[in-house]
Structures are given as C-alpha cells and as structure tokens.
Amino acid sequence: MSRRSLSLAAAALLAACTALQPPEADRASIYVLETVPAAAAPRPTRDLVLEIESPRTRPGFDTPLMAYTQRPNTLEYFARSRWADTPARMLAPLLAQALERSGGFRAVVRAPSAAVAELRLETELVRLQQDFGARPSRIQFTVRAQLIDVAAGKVLAAAEFDETEAAPADDPYGGVIAANRALGRLLERVVDFCAQAPGTR
C-alpha cells in the first residue's frame, strides 16, 4: 500500500475507536457512602433481636443524583456526579453493620426477616445535601429514627440526628468526603440511641 493509503487507513481506524468511546461530557463520577466504624466501647448484650427496616426518604433525596443547594428552599443536582445507589439504600447495610459491631443485641437483622424481633428500628433520610451558601461548602446530613416495641406496637423512643461537616474542597468529591465523615458520627449516635432507649436496658 502507498504511504497515502496507509495514512488514510490509520485515520479511519482512529476515528472508529474514538466513536466507540462516550463523549467526555457524558462521563459521570460514581461515589459511595461508606465509613470505617469507630472502635466502640464494650456494651452489655441484651437478649433482644433488633430488626432494621429499610430507610424511608424525604422527597428530593430518593435518587442517586447528588443534591446541593446555593440558597434556602432550593435543591439542585450535579450533572456529572452521582451516588452508586440512592443514599437510603446505601445507608441500610451501614446501620446494620454499626449495630452489629456494638454488641448491644443478641442479633441484628434486616427486614424482611424470618427471625422474631422484639425491637424494630425505623429510619428516614431527611436530608443529604452540599450547601454552597457558606464557604467552605458543607454537607448537611440528617436522619430521623424511631425504635418500636414490636409486641406492644409502641414507639419507645424517637429522635432526629443532624450532622454538618465542612467539605475539604468545593466540589462533589469534597462533598463525598464530608458526607462519609458526617456519616461516621451519625451512626455512632444511632447506636447510642438504640442502646439507651427505654425498654432496651
């Protein structure tokens, strides 16, 4: 083949390879909620089974899209960054893991379960957003919890946990780092809430 023919063939091959790749603007960064559980103080084990319901979600946050706000009463979403799943679905196994590690219950199960549970933990993701109304930006992470006596059908305790963490950078990844730091503290507070509620001691 002539040098000109080789050049044309190479150019066509390069164009074909480029066409197979998604445009840069369509690529999204995917992030997860995760935290390293802190070393928990020893807790007396209660002969109780705790069942964890799948967390509910307030409107605006039941989506893998990453929420942020720039002024009060508004909610926007990053175009090229998102969670690997909805925050509530990522939160459920982390709650179970933290409560299992606490050693405060005979067993911790996730609903639906065949196990007969004496207590049920119901949670709701109230808010998970990056607030750019302040500098540096900050993550606002709020969860509401109810602990229920299953046999009596009675709410033993209810509380709302709010954690705020400054982002190390004013971008989505900075928000992810801040969210996971806030999550670690939030999980510790939920564990204490379950351990200290009336009827669990």
What is the structure's pLDDT at 152?
Answer: 92
> Within a domain: residue 99?
yes
Could you tell me where the beta strands, DSSP code E, fall in 53-175? 56-57, 65-69, 76-83, 105-110, 119-131, 138-149, 154-166
Which pLDDT value is given to residue 114?
85
Residue 71 structure tokens: 């002024």
Query: Any idea which residue has 């006596």 for tokens?
Result: 149
As averages over each run of 10 residues, the pLDDT of the chain (201 residues) reads: 55 51 64 77 79 95 96 94 97 94 92 90 98 95 97 95 97 97 96 84 57
Between CA 89 and CA 31 the distance in angstroms is: 13
Q: What's the pLDDT at 156? A: 95
CATH number of domain containing 58: 3.40.50.10610
Q: What is the reported pLDDT for 27? A: 78
In total, how many domains does the chain have?
1
CA torsion, ordered 102, 193, 72, 62, to nearest 10 deg:
60
Encoded tokens for 160: 């709302």
Spatial CB neighbours of 47, under 8 Å, sequence gap ≥ 6: 106
Question: What is the extent of the structural domain holding 153?
Answer: 47-196
Residue 6 lies in a domain: no
Query: Is 184 contained in some domain?
Result: yes
- Which pLDDT belongs to residue 24? 47
Residue whose entry in the numeric block shows the structure tokens 């999550």: 183
Which pLDDT score, from 0 to 100, does residue 23 have? 45
Residue 31 β-bridge partners: 83
5 part of a folded domain: no
Asked, for residue 42, whether it belongs to a domain, the answer is no
Residue 59, domain member (yes or no):
yes
* Cα–Cα distance, 87 to 128 (Å, whole number): 8
pLDDT of residue 115: 84
Residues β-bridged to residue 164? 140
2 in any annotated domain: no
Q: Is residue 123 part of a domain?
A: yes
